[in-house]
Amino acid sequence: MSARILVVDDLAPNRHLLEVKLAAEYYDVVTATGGERAIEIAQTEQIDLILMDAIMPGLDGFESCRRLKKDPKTYHIPVIMVTALEETKDRIRGLEAGADDFITKPIDDFNMMARVRSMLRLKMVTDQLLSHTGHSTEDSRPVISGLENRRGRILVFEDHEKRAKQISDPLADIHDFRVIGDPSTINGVTKKDTDLIVVSLTSESFDGLRVCASLRFDQGTRDIPILAVGTPDDEAKFVRAYDLGINDTLMRPIETQELIARINTQLKRKFYADALMDNFNQNLEMVVADPLTGLGNRRYFDRAVQPLFNQLDQTGEIFSIVVFDVDHFKRVNDILGHDTGDEVLKEVATRLVTNMRAIDVVSRYGGEEFMIAMPNTRQDEALVAIDRIRALIGGTPIFVDGEALNITLSAGVAEASQGEKLRDVFKRADSALYRAKQSGRNQVQGADVKKAA
């Protein structure tokens, strides 16, 4: 199933336009005509991203965002403000209210989709952390309350001294900065010593986009938020940067309050994820995680899906189970070595997590095999969603030590039936996977429908 996006606008033509654009990219869209209704939907339904018009009668977008970000139930949902306002003070007002990004009308499709994908990646990672730690959004208030006034460690890639000072000087009393003029001279950046990376897209001595790509492919930096800085003429670069996985952008000439607001927004999200991860590490024995990928392992999956079987038997609420397998993985290990194989498995795990819904249970079941449980999803719906993910993963090379590897996956899908146990559904999904392998690999097969007893 696709990510669910809530579109909030009091004008029907605007809502319809965004709904059409997002539906064309296979997102599920929910709409609201005002702030009060938007908050109600966000609190009671599964929402992965909110596109919020800034100016609305009654409860406007700014106040709606402020309330969403104060509520632990909705704090972690990214909010993109959609507005015709171009004044810097309006962007600052939105950022201070908690908005994660801005889209200015008239909407540019490529720019919007790049920002949407960036925010959804962030949301999926946070949801996975929440599921692993056992935290609910409701009981995470102590985590949220501790995020304010934390000192961040910020790394700035900028080869122009004056431009670097424009970034570091206004925040020198609040955060710690390191300015690097040549990215090739620094090694070993990790989450332990860096909370945010600022990359200039206008530097003369290095390619800012290449730096962003390297940071995202490197295991030590892939989870560190990136703020890209450029000029209004760099719009195409910004879109490409979002596709590479950056988290936010800042336009020159830099306005100090906007700089502070954007940096603090990224740091708070980083600190929130770190707090969840700390909780995860403290409860590792309870969670039972796969040490290589960070996903739940077989024991975790078996325990996590049991409530789905109970609910199916009690209320008839359906769900499907997916068995994913990396094609020709033994050949990868034999030819390129187990270290390369491990990197492939970690990247496959990351791509699975970032393309599944928050409610889906994703685990590494063993070896090169991954298991996914998809609540509220029939087999035919799961087949469509999983085939899309298979194509996304197989369509983008995995880079290991600078070498591009074309990795494909096969999958089997089975819808659970009342009275079945996990082993029964697994057996049917695994048989479907076997047919996919026998039919040439790099495809998804559905299980034979279970006949009623």
pLDDT category of residue 452 using cuts at 50, 70 and 90: very low
Residues 152, 265, single domain; the answer is: yes
What's the N-to-C CA distance of the chain in angstroms? 29
Q: Decide: 14 and 83 in contact? Cβ < 8 Å.
A: no
Per the structure, the count of domains in the chain is 3
Mean pLDDT in the chain? 88
Q: Collapsing DSSP states into helix, strand and coil, what is residue 196?
A: strand
User: Can you state the angle between helices 88-97 and 256-282, rounded to 10 degrees?
Assistant: 20
**Averaged pLDDT, 400-412:** 92
What domain range includes position 300? Answer: 288-446
Residues shown for the chain: 453
**Averaged pLDDT, 216-237:** 90
Tell me the CATH number at 277: 3.40.50.2300
Residues 128, 153, single domain; the answer is: no
In a domain, 453, yes or no: no
Residues 338, 409, single domain; the answer is: yes
**Averaged pLDDT, 307-332:** 93
**Catalytic residue of the set 368, 369, 415, 420:** 368
pLDDT(145) > 70: no
Tell me the CATH number at 410: 3.30.70.270
pLDDT category of residue 453 using cuts at 50, 70 and 90: very low
Task: For residue 219, report the phi and psi dihedrals to the nearest 5 degrees.
Answer: -60, -35
In a domain, 452, yes or no: no
**Rounded Cα gap, residues 374 and 355, in angstroms:** 13
Each residue's pLDDT tens digit, 88-120: 777 788 888 888 888 888 888 887 888 898 888
Q: Decide: 443 and 410 in contact? Cβ < 8 Å.
A: yes
DSSP code, position 342: H
Residues 251, 319, single domain; the answer is: no
Domain final position from 239, 262, 282: 282
Q: What does each C-alpha distance from 243 to 48, 178, 215 come to in angstroms?
A: 18, 26, 13
Domain final position from 225, 258, 282: 282
Residues 113, 200, single domain; the answer is: no
pLDDT score for 85: 66
**Structural tokens at position 398:** 């995995």
**Averaged pLDDT, 418-441:** 95
322 DSSP β-pair partners = 372, 413
Q: What does each C-alpha distance from 235 to 46, 175, 249, 310, 412 come to in angstroms?
A: 32, 28, 10, 51, 41
Q: What does each C-alpha distance from 108 to 89, 105, 377, 440 come to in angstroms?
A: 22, 8, 33, 40
User: Can you state the angle between helices 329-336 and 338-355, rounded to 10 degrees?
Assistant: 140
86 is catalytic: no
Q: Collapsing DSSP states into helix, strand and coil, what is residue 380?
A: helix
- Closest listed residue to residue 426, CA positions, set 372, 362, 388, 351: 372
Is the Cα dihedral 318, 436, 362, 428 positive or negative? positive
DSSP code, position 448: P
Each residue's pLDDT tens digit, 170-210: 999 989 999 999 998 887 788 788 999 999 999 999 999 99
